[in-house]
Amino acid sequence: MDLPVLYDSCRTYRRFLQKPLEPGLLRTLVDVARKRSCGRNSQWLRFVAVEQPENVKAMQPLLHWAAALPKEIGTPKEGEQPVAFVVVAKPRNASPMISDIDLGIALDAMAITAWQKGVGSAILAAVDRKKIAALLEIPEDLEVNIVLALGYPAHKSTLVSGEEGKSLDYYVDGNRDYYVPKLPLEKVAEFK
The angle formed by the CA atoms of residues 135, 80 and 83, to the nearest 5 degrees, is 45
The per-residue pLDDT for range 71-129, each reduced to its tens digit, is 878 899 999 999 999 999 999 999 989 999 999 999 999 999 999 999 999 999 999 99
Residue 71 has what pLDDT? 80
Q: Over range 156-182, report the average pLDDT.
A: 92
| φ, ψ of residue 190 in degrees (nearest 5) | -120, 145
Q: What's the pTM? A: 0.94
What phi-psi label fits residue 61: left (phi over 0), alpha (psi between -120 and 50 degrees) or beta?
alpha
- Asked if 121 contacts 111 with a C-beta cutoff of 8 angstroms, the reply is yes
Classify burial at 100, counting beta carbons within 10 Å of its beta carbon; exposed 0-12, middle 13-18, buried 19 or more. Answer: middle
Domain boundaries, the chain: 3-154
Tell the CATH topology of 3-154.
Answer: NADH Oxidase (3.40.109)
Number of Cβ within 10 Å of residue 189's Cβ equals: 8
Handedness of CA 38, 42, 44, 45 (dihedral sign): positive
